[in-house]
Structures are given as structure tokens and as C-alpha cells.
Structure 1
Amino acid sequence: MSSSEKNTLHDLLNNDSFIAWVMSNFKTNDGYWSSFEADLNKSEKAVFNKAVNILKKLKTLNIDDYKSNLSEDFIKKQYDKLIDDYNTTVVKKSKVFKLNSLLKYAAVLVLLISIAGLVFFTNQSNKNLASNLVETNYNPSELLLQTPDNKYYVISNVKAESLLDENGVKVNIDTEGISFMYTENSKSVDDAKYRVIVPKDKKYLVTLIDSTNVELNSNTTITFTNSVNTKERHIDLEGEAFFDVTHDEKRPFIVQSSDLKIQVLGTEFNVSNYKANGYTSTTLIDGSINVSNQQGESKIIKPGSQAKLLHNQGHLIVKKVNVQEAVSWTTNRMIFENETLENIIQKLNVWYPEKFILNDENIKKYRFTGTLKKQNDLTHFLQMLKYTQGISYQINDDEVTLFFE
């Protein structure tokens, strides 16, 4: 094998995208690597196939044989042995084993050993997660995951867990979010639904099976499946979420709220669907979306615009808006631009559990412009009302009364 072929082999074995392609049975990143393979000549194709076979071989390694013996020498020997098994020529061993070389070998071997040993980690994680099993979804202060077998797990304090669901989908959970990944044993079941439930005063990131990121605001629930065989990707939303959708022109992404249907191919947008607000809105950051109501009215929304549907009306209203105001919650802020106190209180109810009582109807009409940071407690906002507008407040347990003195 020539030096250039050796370099190509090592490059492939240290390419995250290539590894993911092989490990997913040629599903992940398939468009790129299938095209890449088709353009290779005969000798390049031989090297390419050797890299594929080496990764397949690594998948068969037994985790019990390696999990306590990952020394530098062991890692390099195993890596070299695998290449020798396919009659390739490895670089002659030098007296000094450089750190960057170690990292190259270790990156491939450790990553693939961990995947080969997925069942081991799954068994351990299931034991830990089982202790978080609850009987119902009524846990108003906890983050909850509902699995396709209709079990509810508290995931608020899960620091780092990996498990396989009953359909072979790998689920990674930590304090910041949850992600779903296909494995070689995954089955695509169209009606196997997951539900993530976020309580007040929390946010959570969900990475779907297609790598779409969905950031959930407080008091929000999404329901979805992990199917890749359906003609469309579908999510049901209650609350508010920001979507960064992975482009797939063959499978449109659809968000269904209580009364709006938003269809996209790949873009960034926000959907707010809190019942207490009296409306559903979607604000487009980038790309293009199609919004339709239950009466069949449909509109194409462009970046910087918002479509709003009042719950007591059926007509879609589209207008230009400050998109930063719509998505400010993703950075733990609320931005108000000449907004009534009545509307502001609706937003505060997403963050804070207290109930607001207005002793004077005129208070609702007061308008404000400014920014509120989530790390500041509610008293900070109430003090601002008092000293800038003369609106006093009284706190009794979980109630806040606003009044003029």
C-alpha cells in the first residue's frame, strides 16, 4: 500500500462522519458517503472498503475484554492488529509515541468499543433510571420523560445516562437535555411516541433522531415519534419551543399546535401555544414556513415575520416583528416593547408560579419597554413597577396583588 493510501485509510478511520455512517449501517450521512464512494477509482475503492471492514470488525469487540485495559500500548496494538488483519501496512513504530498519535488511535478504538458495549452501558443505565420511575405525569415541578411503553421517568436531576429503548433507539440524558440516536439494532415504529414535559421555571433541549434541535420553554410539552420511514416528521406542541430543523426535502417537518399547523423543510422558528395567552403564534427566524389553521387558510411566512391566530377567531394575522423579542426566552430574558402589563403578566406566568391579582383594571393598560432577566427573582420586577409606575404590590403565599396606593 502506498503512503497516500495509508494516509487515506487513517483519515477515514479518524473521520467522525465516516464512523457514524458505518456504525448506523450506512444510514447517517448516507448521501455524502455514497456519493464519495461512487467517485473513487479501483485502488481508492479498495482502501475505502478496508476502512469499512475495520470498523465492522471493531463493532464485534467484547466490552468485557477491554473495559479495564485501555493503556496506551494496548490501544496502539489493537489498532495496528486490526489494520494488519486486512493486509495493510502500518507506519513503523517509533521509539516515542506522540500524544496526537495516541489520540488518533484512542478516538477510534474507545469510541467503537463504547458502541460495541452499548448493551453493558444500557443495563447499568436502566437500573439507575428505574429509580426515577413515577406512576403518573402529575409532577408539576419535575422534568418528565414518557416512553413509548407509557412509563414516566423524572429526568430533572439525571447527570448522564444512556439507555436503549424497546425499539433499539439510544437515548442520552443529562441535566441540559435529551437526544435520540439510531443504532444498528434500531427499529422504526411509527406509533412509538415519546413525550417530554417541562415544568415552570425550567428549560430543556431535545435533539430528535434527525438531529433537529428543539429548545423547550417553561411549562411546555412535546410529543413525537422516532420513525425515519414516514413521509413527514411530526411534533405536537403545547407551550413554547424554538426549532432548529435539519433540512430534509423528502420529509417535511410539521409542528401541530392546538389550532395551527406549521410545515417546514429546514429552518429556525419559534412557536408559542400557551392556552392562557389566548393565541397561538409562530415567528420565523430563517428559511420559510407554511402556516395553516383548522379552516384551511394557509400563508407562507418569511423571515422576520410572525403569524398569529387568536383563539376566539379563525383568521391568521401576519406581520413584521422584532424576532429577538420572540426568542429572548432562549437566552433567559424577556424583552418588552411598548407592551401592556396584562400581556407581560401572561409571560411572567410561564416563569413564575405565583398568581397575579389586579385590583384596578387600569393597571392592565400600563405599557412597558425593557428587558427582564430570568436570574432576577420576581421581586426585582415588582420593585421596578413600584418605583417607575407607582404600582404597589403585596405577596401572600403564591399570590401577588398589584394596586395603586
Structure 2
Amino acid sequence: MIRHYNIEKWIAAYLLGALSAKERDELEKWIEESPENEKKFTHLLSEEKFTEQYNQYNKVDSKAAWVSFRNKTRSSAFRIEWSTFVRYAAILLLPLTVAYFFWWTPGQQKQMSQETILPGASQAVLLLQNGNRISLNAGSGNQIPVGYSSMATASEEGISYTHADNEAVDQYNTLLTPRGGEYRVTLSDGTIVHLNSASRLKYPVTFSKNKRVVHLEGEAYFNVAEDKKRPFYVVTDGLKIRQYGTSFNVNTYSSRYIDVVLVSGSIGVIPDSGKEEQELKPGQKAEFNRSLQTVSVTDIDVESYVAWNDGRFVFEDESLENIMQTLSRWYDVDIRFGSPQLRNLHFTGSVDRYETIDRILKAIAYTVDVQFDIQERTVYISK
């Protein structure tokens, strides 16, 4: 039997004229599975409110949408044409609209408490070599002594070490983000690191003349400044990533594995066990198994792994357990499942990372048929 969480994606592609031949066959098979399926499909296409919302995609002010997107992402490294973006955004967002009108009928809407939980924000703690702790947030705008005579600048874009003293190679700073936080740092060589929630990055105030080394716990997106004479290393628990100039994402949240996803350039991953370095090409993921000390490399669609860096959550056939772990860190909430079976439900969709949590939970609830209840920063999940 065809799984429900693929249907809305196929119908969205059908409406946008982007359905592949294989997907069309699958959709037709699903429609023919039962009279009820055919009725649902026909009802969707004739649903007046859905038609109104779908028609809005044809009325989008593309340039305004692009400007809004750029303002939200605040990423100077992101490059894409606005016309391509709007088309791509429609492909990602329309499945949620389909899901709402396709699976929901009057009387079936799941209730949810009205408690508002805001998304994470730009905030971190800077730990200096001497043990001093400095709180950072989006409103910071001052010069910070970070080692010897070196100074860093804190601004709305993050903290920058571009004017670091070359004598401070033995001085280390550590950037800590809490649950519900994120922060960007521009290192002394010009490398930009976007640190996700509940993460830690340790780095020298000034890199040495031979190599550039940082230590990561949690998740971060790296846009490494090119320097062919000094390789850049990201060191995690059990794994080292080497490159000279490239963009990639490292995720160490799991106790079972570490994910390294390459967006552009080339990198090598080196296990501490002494096994050979494995090189990655753009569009590939290296998964390091912590217990086996092995690395497996696969071809992937990088979007779901790096979309957080540009202000979105993209879930591709993701389990509800993994999704809720992600939301737990970003919104600083606890999660409680009513039964173990709920953890294995799957969801596909794209949502704004800066929305309140209830709007994201509603989008998921419409698709996977669960109920969310929010009480004092705890999300309870039940049927």
C-alpha cells in the first residue's frame, strides 16, 4: 500500500506540472486503490478554499518574496536567483497546503493549546581563555578583548575576529549556544561558522601559519575561506574533517553517528581509529558510526541537511522522533510521546524555522494524524 505522506507531495507536483512519469504512475495507482481515494482526490481539486490558496501561488510578488527571504536568512554567502527561489519555495510549501485540505475534513481538526512558544534567536556565550564569560545576542555592538591585545567585534551579524592580533595563536575562545539559540562567528581567516542550538565551537583567536583547527560539538555550517597553504580542520569526537576552502555541514548531535554533508568544494573525513581518509564530492554525506569507527559515503539531496542555515526546516520522509528532537533543541521544549509507535510516524514538508512552534506542529498534525498539547514548555504527543 502506498504511504500517505507521499500523496500530498505528488499532488503538489501534479498541480505545479512537475510530476515525473514514475510519480504519476504511483499517484494513479493510489487513486485506483479504492473509491475513497478517488473521492478524496476529486474533492481536493474541487475544494473552493484550497483553490483560493493554490491560486495565490500564481499571484506571488516574486521580488518581494525574495527580499523577505533574504532578510530572514541574513546569510551573505547564500546565492540564488529570486525567480528560481519562488518556484522552488512553491514546490516545498504547496504539499503542506495540500495536506491540510486533503486529509482534514470538518470535525477532524486536532485541538492544540494556545500557549505560544517562540523560535530560537541569535544568542550565545563567549568563553575566554581566562575563564571570563560574555553574553552575546543580536543587539550586541561592541568591541570585546579576546586575548592579549586582540579585539573582536560583536554585531547583529555575529562576532568577528578579522582584526585579531597575530601573536594570539595560543589564545583560545569557545562559543556556546544554548537550546533555543544560534550564532555566527567570523574567524580570523575570514571563515564563517553558523553554530546551531546546543552547540560548542572552540577555536584560536588567531590561526597558526601552518594549519587552521577548530573543535565542534553539536551542529555547525562552515563556509571556509580559501587558503591552499593552510588546511582547515574540524575536530569532533572520533572524527576529523579536512579542507582548504569549501562549504559543508557537520552534525554531531547523535550519540550513534556523525553526519558530514558537503555542499561545495571537496573535503576529506579522517576517523581517529587511523583508517584511511575518505574524500567527499558535493552532494554527498559521510556518516561516521561511532561504535564501529567506520565511515560510509552516500549521494544525497543536501537541502534537508543544510536548510536550517537559511532559515527553514526541510523534512524528507523524516521520523516524528527525529523531527521532535530537532524542534526540542530549537524551541527549548521537552517532548513526551504517548506511545512508542508515534515515534515512527513520518512527515515530509518544509516550514519556516522562525515561526512559532504551534504553527509547525499544526502542519505536522494535519499530515500524520496526531494531537499535540503544549503545557509549560512540554509538548505532549498522542493520537
Q: Provide the TM-score with structure 1 as the length reference.
A: 0.61
Match of 2:152 in 1: 171
Q: Does the CA-based 8 Å contact 2:346-2:368 persist in structure 1?
A: no
Matches within 5 A, 1:318-333: 318-333=297-312
Greater shift, 190-199 or 264-273, is seen at 190-199
The residue that corresponds to 2:241 in the other structure is 262
Instruction: Tell me what 1:289 maps to.
Output: 267
Compare 163-172 and 388-397 and name the one that shifted more: 163-172
The residue matched to 2:185 in structure 1 has which SS? strand
In structure 2, the CA distance between the partners of 1:187 and 1:390, relative to structure 1 (3 Å rule), is: closer
Asked if the contact 1:243/1:268 (under 8 Å) is kept, the reply is: yes
Cα distance, 1:275 vs structure 2: 4.1
**8 Å contact from structure 1 (residues 216, 240) kept in 2:** yes
Matched AA of 1:397: E
Confirm whether residue 145 of structure 1 aligns to residue 126 of structure 2: yes
Within 5 A, what are the aligned runs for 1:284-363?
Answer: 284-297=262-275, 298-363=277-342
Structure 2 residue runs without a partner (length 5+):
1-120
SS in 1 for 2:274: coil
- CA spacing shift, 1:356–1:336, aligned 2, 3 Å: same
CA offsets, 1:147-166, max 9 Å, x none? 22221011225431124444
- Summarize the alignment of residues 155-304 of structure 1 with structure 2, pairs less than 5 Å apart: 155-156=136-137, 158-182=139-163, 186-275=165-254, 278-297=256-275, 298-304=277-283
Task: State the distance in 1 between where 2:197 and 2:171 align.
Answer: 25
Q: Structure 1's 182 and 333: CA in aligned 2 closer, same or farther, altered over 3 A?
A: same
Q: Deviations over 1:332-388 (max 9, x none)?
A: 111011111122122212212111111222212211110121222221222233332
After TM superposition, give the deviation of residue 167 of structure 1 in Å: 2.1
State the distance in 2 between where 1:233 and 1:363 align. 44
The amino acid of 2:238's aligned partner reads D
Residues 93-121 of structure 1, C-alpha deviations (whole Å, 9 max, x = no match) = xxxxxxxxxxxxxxxxxxxxxxxxxxxxx
- Kindly state the Cα deviation for residue 200 of structure 1 after the two structures are TM-superposed: 2.4
Partner SS for 1:210: coil
Contact conserved, 2:169 with 2:204, CA < 8 A, in 1?
yes
Change in CA separation of 1:388 and 1:182 when aligned onto 2, cut-off 3 Å: closer
Alignment of 1:22-33 (within 5 A): none
| 1:389 has 2:368 as partner | yes
Matches within 5 A, 1:20-99: none
Cα distance in 2 for partners of 1:141, 1:270 equals 19
| 1:241, distance to aligned residue in structure 2 (A) | 0.9
Q: What SS does structure 2 have at the residue aligned with 1:270?
A: strand
CA–CA distance in structure 2, aligned partners of residues 272 and 195 of structure 1: 18
2:45 corresponds to: none
TM-score by length of 2: 0.64
- Once residues 375 and 239 of structure 1 are traced to their aligned partners in structure 2, the CA distance between those partners, rounded to angstroms, is 20
- C-alpha displacement at 1:187, in angstroms? 4.3
Cα contact 1:141–1:199 (8 A) shared by 2 = no
- Which residue does the alignment assign to 1:7? none
1:328 is paired with a residue of what secondary structure? helix
Q: Quote the RMSD (CA, aligned, Å).
A: 2.1
Q: Which has the larger radius of gyration?
A: 1
1:190/1:230 contact within 8 Å kept: no
CA distance in 2, matches of 1:325, 1:232: 31
2:261 aligned partner, one-letter code: T
Q: Is the 8 A contact 1:372 1:381 kept in 2?
A: yes
Deviation readout 1:206-244 (Å, 9 max, x if unpaired): 101111111111222100003343421010011111111
> In the alignment, is the contact (CA less than 8 A) between 1:335 and 1:371 conserved in 2?
yes
- The amino acid of 1:219's aligned partner reads A
For the residue of structure 2 that corresponds to 1:250, the secondary structure is coil
What is the rounded CA distance, in whole Å, between the counterparts of 2:146 and 2:251 in structure 1? 30
RCO comparison, higher one (Cα < 8 Å, 6+): 2
What SS is found at the alignment partner of 1:387? Answer: helix
Report how far residue 284 of structure 1 moved.
0.5
Determine the C-alpha separation between the residues in 1 that align with 2:374 and 2:133: 35
